[in-house]
């Protein structure tokens, strides 16, 4: 039987390729990754890699971001239909309409968006730097797209700003309701509840800590607490159970499983490297302005 992990390592060397994997990827995929992290970390890495090919184990907008930041490299998305329903809630035309409605207001764009949308915006952000990015802008009024939950979280951290929000949301994080938080708090009264800012505002208000996937992992690994409740995709819980077997981790909601992130298997990474599939291309007419918005974000923090 073919040992897929060994085959992947061999193909990586032959193709001068590196594998990037988001924290939500399956363990088997993370095990062959050269870099694992949250969206911000992976964007920074993608901009500065020394290789010919990047295999992006994640969803389409992440691979597109890598291609925009590294246009001379081949960027492969192992599962071509691994998308993001949140990114699909908005088009470039929607952003142009918002700009017409709010002239002079800069547009901050969560990286969970298409290249077409990024191209219409002034600066990108991820969940780990959204507050810093919005705070860095001199204008009081700021258009924030497409995640309305993350936008609400930012608005609450920066009361001096006036945010115009889009109504997009992550369908996976939006499953968590305040009743789930109340129930799990009653079941585990001593456990800290950590949530991603893509959760609904009434859920975030009940949590003990809010942060990106990497920030949740850092908090859970470094804090003194022995029991923690994880309010983001189950991949983070798997990482934590592996890295801190001495602690107890519970998932805030059984539905915290992103079907798109879970599409990529070891076989998908192997096939991507073997057949050089599925190559991401971004028209330079969109990639140019999208790159400016991404680089501006990388310069803020």
Contacts to ligand 13P by CB under 6 A: 38-39, 112, 126-128, 170, 196, 198, 212-213
Tallying the residues shown for the chain, one arrives at 301
Q: Which is nearer to ligand 13P, 12 or 196 (CB)?
A: 196
Q: How far is the CB of 21 from ligand 13P (least distance, A)?
A: 11
CB atoms inside a 10 Å sphere around CB 179: 9
- Cα 43 to Cα 48, 159, 228, 268, 282: the distances in Å are 9, 28, 28, 22, 16
Instruction: List, in sequence order, every residue forming a beta bridge with 142; answer none if it has no partner.
Output: 163
Q: How far is the CB of 1 from ligand 13P (least distance, A)?
A: 34
Q: Which is nearer to ligand 13P, 70 or 113 (CB)?
A: 113
Backbone dihedral region for residue 16 (phi beyond 0: left; psi -120 to 50: alpha; all else: beta): left
Three-state DSSP class for residue 164: strand
Q: How far is the CB of 35 from ligand 13P (least distance, A)?
A: 13
Q: How far apart are CA 166 and CA 148, in angstroms?
A: 5
Q: How far is the CB of 233 from ligand 13P (least distance, A)?
A: 6
- Cα 263 to Cα 84, 89, 188, 259, 271: the distances in Å are 12, 21, 32, 6, 13
Q: How far is the CB of 98 from ligand 13P (least distance, A)?
A: 22
- Cα 272 to Cα 26, 70, 279: the distances in Å are 16, 18, 9
Q: Which is nearer to ligand 13P, 11 or 148 (CB)?
A: 148
Q: Which is nearer to ligand 13P, 70 or 126 (CB)?
A: 126
Q: Which is nearer to ligand 13P, 222 or 224 (CB)?
A: 222
Q: How far is the CB of 13 from ligand 13P (least distance, A)?
A: 28
Q: Which is nearer to ligand 13P, 105 or 216 (CB)?
A: 216
């Amino acid at each position: 039987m073919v040992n897929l992990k060994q085959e992947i390592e061999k193909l990586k060397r032959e193709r001068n390729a590196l594998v990037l994997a988001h924290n939500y990827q399956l363990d088997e995929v993370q095990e062959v990754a050269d870099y694992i992290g949250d969206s911000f970390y992976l964007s920074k890495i993608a901009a500065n890699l020394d290789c010919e090919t990047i295999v992006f184990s994640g969803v389409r907008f992440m691979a597109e971001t890598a291609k925009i930041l590294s246009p001379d490299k081949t960027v492969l998305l192992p599962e071509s239909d691994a998308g993001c329903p949140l990114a699909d809630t908005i088009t470039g035309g929607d952003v142009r309409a918002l700009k017409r409605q709010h002239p002079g207001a800069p547009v901050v764009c969560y990286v969970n968006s298409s290249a077409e949308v990024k191209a219409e915006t002034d600066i990108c952000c991820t969940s780990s730097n959204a507050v810093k990015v919005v705070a860095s802008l001199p204008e009081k009024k700021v258009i924030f797209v497409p995640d309305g939950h993350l936008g609400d979280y930012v608005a609450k951290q920066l009361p001096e700003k006036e945010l115009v929000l889009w109504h997009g949301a992550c369908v996976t994080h939006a499953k968590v309701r305040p009743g789930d938080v109340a129930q799990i708090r009653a079941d585990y009264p001593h456990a800290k509840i950590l949530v991603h800012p893509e959760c609904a505002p009434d859920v975030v208000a009940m949590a003990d800590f809010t942060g990106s996937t990497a920030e949740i992992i850092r908090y859970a690994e470094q804090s003194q607490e022995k029991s923690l409740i994880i309010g983001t995709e189950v991949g983070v819980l798997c990482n934590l159970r592996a890295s801190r077997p001495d602690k107890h981790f519970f998932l805030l909601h059984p539905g915290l499983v992103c079907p798109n992130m879970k599409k990529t298997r070891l076989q998908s990474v192997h096939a991507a490297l073997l057949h050089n599939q599925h190559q991401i291309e971004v028209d330079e007419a969109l990639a140019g302005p999208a790159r400016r918005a991404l680089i501006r974000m990388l310069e803020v923090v």
